[in-house]
Structure 1
Amino acid sequence: MSVRLLRRLSILPLLALHLHACAASPSPLLSDYTHNAWGALQGAPVDVLKFAQGQDGWLWIATATGLYRYDGVRFDRVDSVYGYRLPSSNVLGLATPPDGAVWVGYRLGGVTVFRQGGARTYGEADGLPTGAVFHIEAAPDGSIWVGTRDGAARLAPGADRFEAQAANVSLPDKRVYQILFGRDGTQWMGTMHGVFFRKPGQTRFSHAWPRTMLTSMDEAPDGAIWAVDNQSNYYRVRTSAPHGDAPIRPDATGNGIRFDRAGTMWLMQPDGLERKFDPSGPSLPAQRLTRQNGISGPLPQSSFQDREGNLWFGTSTGLDRLRPNRLQTLPVAVPFDHPGMLPGPDGDVWIGDYVGDVRSFTADGVKKVELKGALAASHWAPDGTLWLGNEQELHHRARNGAMTRVVPPVLGLDPQALQQDRSGALWASFSGGGLFRLSEGKWIANGGLSGLPAVLTTAMAIDGAGTVWLGHADNTISLVADGQRAGAVRRLGAPDGLQVGTVLQLYRDGDMMWAGGENGVALYRAGRFQMLRGARGAAFRGVSGIVRLPDGDLWLHGADGIEHIAAASLAAWMRDGSAVVSERFDALDGLQGHASQLRPVPSLIHAPDGKLWFSTSATIAMLDPLHIRRNRLPPPVQIHSLLADGVRYTLDDGKPLHLPQGSRNLQIGFTALSLSMPERVRLRYRLAGVDAGWQEAVGRREAYYTNLAPGSYRFDVTAANEDGVWNTQGTGLDIVIAPAFVQTPWFALLLALGAALLLYGGYVLRIRHLTRNMQERLQERLQERLAERSRIARSLHDTLLQSVQGLILSFHAHADMLPKGTRERARLDGTLNLADQLLIEGRDQIMDLRASAEPDELRLALQQFGKGLAEHRAHAFTVHVSGICRRLQPRVHDEIYAIAREALFNASRYAEAANIVLELDYAEQAFTLRVRDDGCGLDDAVAQTGQRPGHWGLVGMRERAAAIDASLRIDSRPGAGTQIEVSVPGRLAY
């Protein structure tokens, strides 16, 4: 069973009711309005009690948990208005009179008026009755009326106190719920005892009927006042007593009512919202907005119509907006299934789909069935005949209305496109079945022509010369000239500028031909295609409907919605290829779905009554191009915040903002107060002196600037609504960043003095430069000599001295093997002492050569000396260096080296140590050398005096330390090792 057959079977039970339902009911509520719902998850207020809109465009919302404002994008809970704090967050009363003030009433009593220049709170001491403030209303004469728990009060223009309105004007002194001023000047008061009214010129109020608690009121288009009681019954208020004793029956039920500017009644019910065209008529599901179709919550309790015509309703868990759609949806009881459409012969429009019959329609609904059976393709021939087709058959309707059935060449396949040529023959393409030409009752594949592609022919048209245009699914178009019966056809494609992908529609425009397709729209003229290029990234994808109106405007229906290109913009594109500016109509305007991307096509027709009809997968939408709903109100613009280097500053309206010195980074927040289609609001801003032109704020309402120099700046912002109506005045903010010292006149004077000093300094530097060059040349020569001396010293140290040292150590080892006190031992010791003296003298000479050696030379020399000692003794040797190695003064270097060598030698020879450690500390304050071991230690007397009988090493170390103003300390205990520390002050060491 095919998918299409399943669709037909599932929808058949509804078709019987279709004609009656279309004629009897208005269009569904949600096809006439775009509905948006907000709740706590979207940051919106809940349990909305009142709405009001000021002259500046802000939508104010009163709740029991705070006062909110909405700019079309974000709900902000505010603790202050115009910079002045609210005394309470439990807000109940709300009003915004024409003078720009915001009046706020509180559930626990009191009223505050907020103005740009200040705020004032009124209470019992100011004549205001106590208790909850139910309602605030501005009277036509500029006075302010307040309804409270304990009665009503009036604040006269310019008065300082409220005046109670009770028995003195025949009003009750308890529970005044609402105040309403009728269009005829009558004042109405809804109270717990019923409605009271006072006509113009009267001083006292009269009691109306019915005389029961009546709270919420509104005025109907005919001037009648409707009011609701506490049982959700609505009455037309009567100013005269009813006849007889019959009770007054309610005229409607609901817990809230509003008549919009068009006069339509909106009733709020506990479970939702209902549109009523006839108050006494039945309740229709299609005219209700409930939880099932997306209302924000139950118990709608407040309503409002803003200055742009949007309807707002507050519920217990959020709020809802109903925005009138620009597109009218064809009222049908059963949705279409991929409808196809064509202009009817009698000023109507014929519509068929995959499952129903072909019916004629006007904008008000269905008229009658024109043809039994589904519709997949249709074509009005130039001679006035009509072709209709589906998967079973083709129908030919003659000019006199007679219908003839034509059997297609292949059964069970949908016709994709139909076109009759000048000879009366019919070209027809079938999905999956190929291309055929019907002539004299015979179907001929490809019309007997060669050169036609095997891919699906998706669109057809005929031009003024009679040439049949065949668009294909492979981005090509075939041209069959009038009268051509054999031979090759002409092919157009990418080499000819065509880049639309699958061709979805061909539309003749005088001597030109439009081609719409998956990837765009192209116009064929002067032998070549020119792709339509849109401004701001408009791509015109998936266009299967094209209409050029007599006024020159171009309308397109595609995958992204409906595009309208004005004649002037289109003419400029044809002239010089400049990008066209298009106006888009999409889901925000009430379009449901998108244009067909295969069949039926076209998805756009120009009806005989001048309206444009658009088909999608399930609906038919209509638009009168001469009477499009427009928003003529330019959006007010406000700059609401400024952060400089992360610090928020208060903006004082009209006054420059002075920022402290050093401010460099700005974040400026602004908004445009358009509530209908904030998604299409365009915002532009510029900072004079920084931005070369206007900057477009796409998807954001902030501007960011970094690295600003001190000075005076002017930030301007402007906006346009969804219809391109710009706020020509915009708004601005003057910003002053305090100059730094470098921008003052004193700094300029210092610069002049500095320039003179620089000239003098340049002369001095030149002399110094010449002197330095001479010194550098001398220094280079000296360094060369020192480098050579260091090389020689390094060579002698690494070869001769180390070899001699090794021999001495070896002889020492042999001397230790001889018994002490023998003649041979004494002679050998004397010889070794002479050798040691010789080694010292050689070392001193080498040190003289290395007087300007590298900073690390001391460590390397001592490390090598210590390692040499360790090779002939049973102890380990390690070196630790802390700080950064620095070159020592030559004399300090020599004495430190001698001290360290003596200490290392003594430790190696006499300490009987297992470990000897050398430490070099290059601190800024002092240079310190330590030699420590873990050997047998020194006697206390030796450690204290530094003298040992027959030995002068320790004495020599002290003398050397004293010679360079160093301190020498010896710490030793028998059996605990020895530490010798030499410290030289940094000023002497380096």
Structure 2
Amino acid sequence: MAVLLPARAAAGPPADYTHTAWGSLQGAPVDVLKFAQGPDGWLWITTATGLYRYDGVRFERSDSVHGQRLYSTNVLGLLAARDGALWVGYRLGGVTVLRPDGARTYMEADGLPGGAVFHIAEGPDGTVWVAARDGVARLRPGHERFEPQGAAVGLPARRMFQILFARDGTQWVAAQGGAFFRRPGAVRFTQAWPRTTLMAMAEGPDDTIWASDDKGRYYRLHTTEPAQAPRPEYTASGMHFDRAGQMWLLQPDAVERVGAPPAQRLTLQNGLSGALPQTFFQDREGSIWIGTSAGLDRLRPNRLRALATPRHFDHPGMIAGPDGTVWVGDYAGHVAAYTADGNARPLLRSGFAAAHRAPDGTYWIGDDQALHRRTADGAWQTIASPEGLRGLDPQALLQADDGALWASFSGGGLFRLQGGRWTRDGGLAGFPAALAMVMARGADGTVWMGHARNQVSLVGRDGRVRRLDARHGLRLGTVLALTPDGATMWAGGEAGTALYRDGRFLALHGGGGETFRGVSGIVRLAGGDLWLHGADGIYRIGADALARWMRDPAQPVAFERFGALDGLRGHASQLRPLPSLVLAPDGQLWFATGSAIALLDPARIPRNPLPPPVLIRELTAAGRHYPLAGPAVTLAQGADTLQIGFTALSLAMPERVRLRYRLEGVDHGWQEAVGRREAFYTNLAPGTYRFHVIAANEDGLWNDAGAVLDIRIPPTFVQTPWFVVLLALGGAALLFAAYALRMRHVTRRLAERMQERMHERLAERSRIARSLHDTLLQAVQGLIMSFHAHVRQLPPGTRERERLDLALDRADRLLVEGRDQIMDLRASAPPPDLAEALREFAAGLAEPGAHAFEMTVTGLRQPLRPQVSEEIQAIAREALCNAARYAQAERIVLEVDYGSAAFTLRVRDDGRGLDAAVAQAGGRPGHWGLVGMRERAAAIGASLRMASGPGQGTALEVTLPAALAYGIEEHGRAAQPASWGTEQHHASAHEWDQSQRG
């Protein structure tokens, strides 16, 4: 940072601009030729190597504007038109106009003069004028071609340098042949005086038109021939006037501000970016821009105005004077009365370590040699310091209501002067040992003293001393300021600021953790505003905000800060002289730092009335950059990360621009962009989002409309609702499959356990059957045979023989029935395969008889449900037994069909068949075979059909649906081929009888 320094020490004006310089080290363009600023706020810069733009934060080279490329990078002429179009002229000829909806380049074929385009200007009616090497041309609104302006309108043919539209409507053209003007309504141009080559023009605040020749000499232009030949009045490479009418001259090695106030010079030695300042521009916020051969410079008007003095102060002290001035002194030994414009009137040859103005108009000023007292009549009196304290600086002075002077000396202690006599501690007891830094008089006449080490002492009118410290809420460290405010007292210190009210100190705190530390100057204005000067700058707390805080001290107080960016150099004094803030009689605030004094009129604080334009600059999603050609953009499928760049076009004080953004649907509230101009988002779901960014300038003026961008993220297939539905269905299918597999496993295991238990039970029955056969039946048969042997010894025909034969017949029948029951018991324990079990059973029936037996198994053999298997076997056995015993059949056929839709069992014979009456009745009276078969079939859900007739044999068929027959087993175990083919078995009755009787 640098400020304009006075050209001559005696006539230096206040340094009311803050200077910033950029060069190639800061990434700025060099050899800057022209500036322009459009309605959108961008600062455009032309150089011989390209077009640049600046948003207040960074410089960007722009080979294209609004997506349209420039014709050449060697640019010279530049115009930001009122309609937002940007006109760029090229050093080697041609002009391009760039708009958001397209661009067009004009060449000689379009009526444009050839050669370098030196200047582009816009007329009051919107006509664009171009001054080029080969002439002047205009492009009227709505026209497609430029119209050359030459001899036909009174202009020379070549070397046209500048076009100027004066405030009175006169059009001026600077050319190789001189300066030419045309009044409003006139057709032709007239040459002005002096009549020499003129290259650059400027209009002064008094409507004077100035122009320079090729040697840099500036003349006043005359529309009529003057009585005396015009003489040059200034020598410079450029002349310009700011909006306040102040003249600025560009020199080969400096920028000079001339007129009132006196001249200032910004040079290479005090910070100018480079030699050959060659262009001047004032932006819409009031900052002045200078382009040099090595960079560019900005001069921003300060809010605070430095007091103009011929030298730097050495720790100045201040006190308001009686005549509208402010008395200022420092360690150098001179005290003077200053006015706000910097005029000074010497007062006293003395240092300035402490000062005090008493209510009776008496002034006290002290240094390390003595104290100086000025009475109301203007007379000065010197008073020696207490004995032994010469050489020690007074720290604080205060005249009490009784006329006595309290004085604190650094390293010497506290004294009271009354009647020409110094008394240590005023003869009172109870003062802290720490140095009294500041003193103030309370509304009731109490003398307040702020000490180091977080202590305050009060001396009442009764002479009693009372002390305040942390027990009373005091947490300021060293007390640096005491300012009465009615019945209350403000206190500032190295650790903060507090208000003493109702016996306690209330700490003042602001938003963002602000503590208002190091405050050594406090002023409460009549309107209620509170001003503080501390270690971190100057604070303004508005009356309304302060009133709210006083009602609720627990809440942070709203405040405004002024610091180096506003022109404050240094910080408030933390030792002496104190206070560092004084209210001048004219209402201005004076702030003292280590080497300067700054002024601010609280009633007329310079403000920036322009809310910053906001722009969304770029968008990157998932590593891909998207051009922003409109208010909406559609990203690639699956994009889930966003990086959005934005900016606010405020050039005066970009450091204090505030930016807030929000992505609707993601952010619940506004996000503050601190120290960055980008927003980042990750893990975004597909959908439509709206990104909104707003900004405020340094004065808190918000652009609430901001900039908006709609962002659409299309979903990939896996992110669509259909995929979710398919995923849900797939999950349900997997769960169902898992459930089905589990149920099949459980059912199979249950069936296996039931099968195992059934086989265990049937095995036990077989064991019992074998035991009965091998024991009881054999014993009974042996007994019957024994009785037969004895019966044969009786004579035939006797009554005893007949009775015994009848009993033996009955025993044989019982034996046969017992044997049948045992056969049934053994048959109930078949092998695991149903067909195999029936085959064995049928073979046993065929052995004692003379019939033949055939068995056929078809389909894929698979196990039946346990209950089904048992009932089917029972039905089959009953049918086979009936066919073998009663049908007198020669051939019996058993068919088993493991069908995919149903299980079928058939028993057929070629025997005598059943009587019609018996078949219709469902069996012979007293016999329950057919009835039992029907009941067993009904129990398992099977259908039973029987066909029979006298001499036609009998056929019985049992059919059971597959779902009832096989259950889940039909999809479980691998089915086996039915009998691995077709089985046939023939047996003779004799063989069966022999096996049974053996």
Same fold (TM over 0.5): yes
* Whole-angstrom CA distance in 1 between matches of 2:492 and 2:747: 84
**1:556 equivalent among 532, 537, 540:** 532
Q: Is the aligned partner of 1:335 residue 2:329?
A: no
Q: Is the aligned partner of 1:484 residue 2:468?
A: no
Deviation at 1:763, TM superposition (A): 3.4
Equivalent position of 1:732 in the other structure = 708
- Equivalent residue letter for 1:464: A
Equivalent position of 1:589 in the other structure = 566
Equivalent position of 2:207 in the other structure = 223
1:892-911 equivalent positions in 2, closer than 5 A: none
Q: Is the aligned partner of 1:412 residue 2:386?
A: no
Does the CA-based 8 Å contact 1:37-1:295 persist in structure 2?
yes
CA deviations 1:152-209 (Å, max 9, x no partner) are: 1110100001111111111111011111111111101111111111010001101111
* Whole-angstrom CA distance in 2 between matches of 1:668 and 1:770: 59
CA deviations 1:896-924 (Å, max 9, x no partner) are: xxxxxxxxxxxxxxxxxxxxxxxxxxxxx
Q: Is the aligned partner of 1:494 residue 2:464?
A: no
Q: Give 3-state SS (helix, strand or coil) of 1:635's partner.
A: coil
Deviation at 1:211, TM superposition (A): 1.4
Distance change >3 Å, CA 768–CA 179, structure 1 → 2? farther
Does the CA-based 8 Å contact 1:175-1:192 persist in structure 2?
yes
Equivalent position of 1:277 in the other structure = 259
* Whole-angstrom CA distance in 1 between matches of 2:366 and 2:446: 23
* Whole-angstrom CA distance in 2 between matches of 1:379 and 1:391: 16
- Equivalent residue letter for 2:576: R
- Equivalent residue letter for 1:322: L
1:230-379 equivalent positions in 2, closer than 5 A: 230-243=214-227, 246-277=228-259, 287-379=264-356
Deviation at 1:26, TM superposition (A): 4.7
Q: Is the aligned partner of 1:463 residue 2:407?
A: no
Does the CA-based 8 Å contact 1:21-1:333 persist in structure 2?
no
Does the CA-based 8 Å contact 2:93-2:115 persist in structure 1?
yes
Does the CA-based 8 Å contact 1:32-1:329 persist in structure 2?
yes
**1:508 equivalent among 484, 499, 506:** 484
Aligned length: 746
* Whole-angstrom CA distance in 2 between matches of 1:662 and 1:596: 60
* Whole-angstrom CA distance in 2 between matches of 1:21 and 1:63: 34
* Whole-angstrom CA distance in 2 between matches of 1:316 and 1:773: 96
Q: Which runs of 5+ in 1 are unaligned?
A: 1-17, 778-990
Deviation at 1:102, TM superposition (A): 0.5
**2:13 equivalent among 20, 27, 36:** 27
Deviation at 1:772, TM superposition (A): 10
Equivalent position of 1:717 in the other structure = 693
Q: Give 3-state SS (helix, strand or coil) of 1:764's partner.
A: helix
Deviation at 1:742, TM superposition (A): 4.0
- Equivalent residue letter for 2:251: Q
Q: Is the aligned partner of 1:115 residue 2:99?
A: yes
Q: Give 3-state SS (helix, strand or coil) of 1:730's partner.
A: strand
* Whole-angstrom CA distance in 1 between matches of 2:701 and 2:37: 20
Q: Is the aligned partner of 1:741 residue 2:727?
A: no
Equivalent position of 2:194 in the other structure = 210
Equivalent position of 1:965 in the other structure = none
Deviation at 1:758, TM superposition (A): 5.4
Equivalent position of 2:118 in the other structure = 134
Does the CA-based 8 Å contact 1:359-1:366 persist in structure 2?
no
**1:640 equivalent among 607, 614, 617:** 617
Equivalent position of 1:530 in the other structure = 506
TM norm structure 1? 0.73
**2:601 equivalent among 609, 624, 637:** 624
* Whole-angstrom CA distance in 2 between matches of 1:740 and 1:581: 49
- Equivalent residue letter for 1:446: D
Q: Give 3-state SS (helix, strand or coil) of 1:727's partner.
A: strand
- Equivalent residue letter for 2:316: P
Q: Give 3-state SS (helix, strand or coil) of 1:363's partner.
A: coil
Deviation at 1:751, TM superposition (A): 5.1
Q: Is the aligned partner of 1:579 residue 2:565?
A: no
Deviation at 1:664, TM superposition (A): 0.9
Equivalent position of 2:29 in the other structure = 45
* Whole-angstrom CA distance in 2 between matches of 1:57 and 1:525: 49
Equivalent position of 2:144 in the other structure = 160
Deviation at 1:397, TM superposition (A): 2.2
Deviation at 1:412, TM superposition (A): 1.1
Q: Give 3-state SS (helix, strand or coil) of 1:570's partner.
A: helix
- Equivalent residue letter for 2:384: V
Distance change >3 Å, CA 352–CA 754, structure 1 → 2? same
Equivalent position of 1:177 in the other structure = 161
- Equivalent residue letter for 2:414: L
* Whole-angstrom CA distance in 2 between matches of 1:653 and 1:311: 33
1:914-933 equivalent positions in 2, closer than 5 A: none
* Whole-angstrom CA distance in 1 between matches of 2:637 and 2:601: 59
Deviation at 1:755, TM superposition (A): 6.4
Equivalent position of 2:643 in the other structure = 667
Q: Is the aligned partner of 1:601 residue 2:578?
A: yes
Q: Which runs of 5+ in 2 are unaligned?
A: 1-5, 754-998
CA deviations 1:871-902 (Å, max 9, x no partner) are: xxxxxxxxxxxxxxxxxxxxxxxxxxxxxxxx
Does the CA-based 8 Å contact 2:12-2:310 persist in structure 1?
no
* Whole-angstrom CA distance in 2 between matches of 1:718 and 1:124: 44
- Equivalent residue letter for 1:423: D
Deviation at 1:689, TM superposition (A): 0.7
| Larger mean Cα displacement after TM superposition, 475-484 or 751-760 | 751-760
Q: Give 3-state SS (helix, strand or coil) of 1:419's partner.
A: strand
- Equivalent residue letter for 2:605: I
Deviation at 1:770, TM superposition (A): 4.2
CA deviations 1:934-956 (Å, max 9, x no partner) are: xxxxxxxxxxxxxxxxxxxxxxx
Does the CA-based 8 Å contact 2:220-2:230 persist in structure 1?
no
Deviation at 1:754, TM superposition (A): 4.0
Distance change >3 Å, CA 765–CA 424, structure 1 → 2? farther
1:424-463 equivalent positions in 2, closer than 5 A: 424-463=403-442
* Whole-angstrom CA distance in 2 between matches of 1:55 and 1:531: 46
Deviation at 1:580, TM superposition (A): 1.6
Runs of 4+ aligned residues of structure 1 deviating over 6 Å after TM superposition are: 771-777
Query: Percent identity, aligned pairs only?
Result: 64
Equivalent position of 2:55 in the other structure = 71
- Equivalent residue letter for 1:86: L
Does the CA-based 8 Å contact 1:210-1:238 persist in structure 2?
yes
* Whole-angstrom CA distance in 2 between matches of 1:533 and 1:151: 66
Deviation at 1:759, TM superposition (A): 6.1
Does the CA-based 8 Å contact 1:174-1:192 persist in structure 2?
yes
* Whole-angstrom CA distance in 2 between matches of 1:581 and 1:776: 84
Equivalent position of 2:371 in the other structure = 394
Deviation at 1:765, TM superposition (A): 4.8
- Equivalent residue letter for 1:25: A
**2:451 equivalent among 469, 472, 481:** 472
Q: Give 3-state SS (helix, strand or coil) of 2:269's partner.
A: helix
- Equivalent residue letter for 1:392: Q
Deviation at 1:495, TM superposition (A): 2.5
* Whole-angstrom CA distance in 1 between matches of 2:428 and 2:106: 91
User: CA RMSD of the aligned region, Å?
Assistant: 2.2
Equivalent position of 1:697 in the other structure = 673
* Whole-angstrom CA distance in 1 between matches of 2:529 and 2:298: 32
Q: Give 3-state SS (helix, strand or coil) of 2:548's partner.
A: helix
Instruction: Give the number of the structure whose alpha-carbon radius of gyration is greater.
Output: 2
Deviation at 1:729, TM superposition (A): 1.1
CA deviations 1:400-437 (Å, max 9, x no partner) are: 33333222112111100011222221111000000111
